[in-house]
């Protein structure tokens, strides 16, 4: 379990999102943390690839590699 102190303004924003989504404050925060961690992992992988000297691919190359173009 983890306890976090937040500014009132941030807590109010989380409450509004939870209400709109039909979720709880804990659910909203959990989803935000998961997304943040996934983003950080993506950034770390991109930085690793850049350091390894990998060449950036164009969107067209990526679409072809993923089988999205014919």
pTM of the model as a whole: 0.71
Q: How far apart are CA 62 and CA 56, in angstroms?
A: 10
Q: How far apart are CA 14 and CA 2, in angstroms?
A: 17
- Which pLDDT band holds residue 70 (cuts at 50, 70, 90)? low
**Residues 6+ positions from 37 with CB-CB distance below 8 Å:** none
Q: How far apart are CA 25 and CA 32, in angstroms?
A: 11
- Which pLDDT band holds residue 69 (cuts at 50, 70, 90)? confident
């Amino acid at each position: 379990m983890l306890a976090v102190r937040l500014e009132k303004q941030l807590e109010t924003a989380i409450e509004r999102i939870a209400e709109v989504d039909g979720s709880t404050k804990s659910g909203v925060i959990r989803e935000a943390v998961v997304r943040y961690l996934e983003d950080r992992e993506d950034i770390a992988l991109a930085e690793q690839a850049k350091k390894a000297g990998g060449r950036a691919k164009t969107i067209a190359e990526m679409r072809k590699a993923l089988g999205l173009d014919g």
